[in-house]
């Protein structure tokens, strides 16, 4: 009985087909077809690939595939077949770290796709992948003694126009005290000095009972500001940029980079919030105001 290799070769030659023609029709390389016709099955990939090649070759020649496969199984010992190449197993303990550039690209893609996520949530989700470890969130609050002394030493908010001035900064307001309408005009008038500007802003705030906040960026920092429980303003504050807000009762602010911003409240500079990269949440109202201000700055 002829071998399976001899049968395939003779059947191809009877049909006057070249190896290149069979290779084009079956998409089996000429090198593999030569190995099959010469009985060199060890040169093939082995296993299921050898059987697939035989099926395709027999189909092209019009031969019974099942019969030829049975002959193949009987002629070719499984020991002579080359085992299929196994893939290198992946160590389950291997740790993967996402590059920071890929993280930022993903954040930009989410924003471009219109997916509504709070910036604070994004920062907290992706912060473990940043090169610099994220500091724990800090709620900045003044000491209780400072808040108590502030409430005892300052005039009641409802009678701010009639109380005595608590500091020299409020002196420019004495001329405008009789008229409530004149306070905004005094605050908007051009001035030549930062001290005068701060005093006028503080006097205006005390006269109308409004809390005024200015956030100036010294580094890129994400901020969120909510006035009197209203919708929050969320943005990336760039160096030199100033974001203002005002409220009658309270202002809540969250800063993603505490060392990258400076605050002024009612025209007076506030104490530093924290280190670069530190997340700080701050409540500003009349009870906490005195403890937030920097006593050594104007």
Q: Burial of 58 by CB count in 10 Å (0-12 exposed, 13-18 middle, 19+ buried)?
A: buried
Query: According to the model, what pLDDT value does residue 250 have?
Result: 95
Query: According to the model, what pLDDT value does residue 78 have?
Result: 55
- Asked if 188 and 197 count as a contact pair (C-beta separation under 8 A), the reply is no
Query: According to the model, what pLDDT value does residue 77 have?
Result: 54
101: helix, coil or strand? helix
Query: According to the model, what pLDDT value does residue 147 have?
Result: 45
Q: Burial of 207 by CB count in 10 Å (0-12 exposed, 13-18 middle, 19+ buried)?
A: buried
Residues of the chain with pLDDT under 50: 79, 81-82, 84-88, 90, 92-95, 115-123, 125-136, 143-196, 198
Query: According to the model, what pLDDT value does residue 71 have?
Result: 85
Ordered domains of the chain (ranges, CATH) = 4-80 (1.10.260.40), 100-129 (no CATH), 138-161+207-292 (2.60.40)
Query: According to the model, what pLDDT value does residue 168 have?
Result: 38
Query: According to the model, what pLDDT value does residue 262 have?
Result: 94
């Amino acid at each position: 009985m002829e071998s399976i290799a001899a049968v395939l070769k003779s059947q191809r030659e009877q049909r006057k087909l070249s190896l290149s023609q069979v290779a084009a029709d079956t998409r089996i390389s000429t090198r593999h077809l030569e190995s099959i016709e010469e009985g060199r099955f060890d040169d093939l990939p082995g296993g299921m690939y050898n059987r697939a090649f035989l099926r395709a070759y027999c189909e092209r020649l019009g031969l019974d595939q099942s019969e030829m496969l049975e002959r193949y199984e009987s002629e070719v010992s499984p020991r002579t077949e080359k085992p299929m190449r196994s893939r290198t197993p992946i160590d389950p303990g291997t740790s993967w770290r996402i590059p920071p550039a890929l993280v930022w690209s993903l954040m930009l893609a989410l924003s471009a796709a219109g997916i509504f996520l709070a910036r604070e949530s994004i920062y907290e989700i992706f912060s473990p992948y940043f090169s610099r470890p994220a500091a724990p969130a800090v709620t900045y609050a003044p000491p209780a003694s400072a808040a108590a002394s502030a409430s005892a030493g300052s005039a009641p908010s409802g009678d701010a126009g009639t109380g005595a001035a608590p500091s020299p900064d409020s002196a420019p307001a004495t001329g405008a005290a009789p008229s409530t309408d004149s306070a905004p005009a005094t605050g908007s008038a051009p001035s030549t000095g930062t001290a005068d500007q701060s005093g006028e802003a503080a006097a205006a705030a005390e006269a109308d009972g409004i809390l005024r906040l200015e956030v100036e960026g010294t580094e890129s920092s994400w901020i969120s500001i909510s006035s009197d429980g209203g919708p929050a303003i969320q943005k990336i504050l760039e160096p030199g940029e100033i974001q203002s807000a005002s409220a009658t009762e309270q202002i809540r602010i969250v800063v993603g980079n505490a060392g990258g911003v400076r605050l002024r409240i009612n025209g007076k500079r506030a104490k530093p919030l924290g280190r670069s990269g530190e997340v700080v949440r701050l409540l500003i109202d009349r009870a906490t105001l005195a403890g937030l201000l920097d006593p050594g700055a104007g």
